[in-house]
Amino acid sequence: MMTSAPALTTCLWFDANAEEAANFYVSIFPNSRITNLSRYGKNQPGPEGQVMVVAFELSGKSYMGLNGGPIFKFSEAISQVVGCKDQAEIDHYWDKLLAGGGAPQQCGWLKDRFGLSWQVVPAEIGDLMTKGGPKKSEAVMSAVMQMVKIDLAKLRDAYNAG
């Protein structure tokens, strides 16, 4: 019988800018830091001296950035969800993650300048979409579908009107 859960770390594949991305992300989220760097040596698949792997924490969760070359790209199939307590926090993380060339998307989604997808949403969005019955759920979903950046007051209004 297993007595403890294994540690889980999300690995993000970058072409050659994993260190830049990690520094960008840790500058945005509290309780975040770079924990380790390893560099390519001689006779390895990357340029000697370039960061191969950067280990970092975002809000206390473990991540790894790998400079693996241009073989793989991010897609919306994987996204990071930022559950925000209020509109000010939604605005803050939305603006920070878009900085430097990110692209807003529909329904609270965005791609940062590295191509990673994020959902910047209110922490209460699950309750707004699932509690209160089908009419409230439909009203909230209809409101979300009309938004790019989430407007929490409009979601609450939709819920209350539903």
Domain boundary among 33, 48, 72: 72
Q: Residue 140's domain is classified under what CATH number?
A: 3.10.180.10
pLDDT of res. 121: 98
SS (H, E, C) the chain: CCCCCCCCCEEEEECCCHHHHHHHHHHHCCCCEEEEEEECCCCCCCCCCCEEEEEEEECCEEEEEEECCCCCCCCCCCEEEEEECCHHHHHHHHHHHHCCCCEECHHHEEECCCCCEEEEEECCHHHHHHCCCHHHHHHHHHHHHCCCCCCHHHHHHHHHHC
Q: How many domains does the chain have?
A: 2
Asked, for residue 27, whether it belongs to a domain, the answer is: yes
Domain boundary among 72, 101, 122: 72
- Tell me the pLDDT tens digit for each residue of 88-133: 999 999 999 999 999 999 999 999 999 999 999 999 999 999 999 9
Asked, for residue 78, whether it belongs to a domain, the answer is: yes
Is residue 92 located within the same domain as residue 154? yes
Is residue 81 located within the same domain as residue 48? no
- Tell me the pLDDT tens digit for each residue of 53-67: 999 999 999 999 999
pLDDT of res. 1: 65
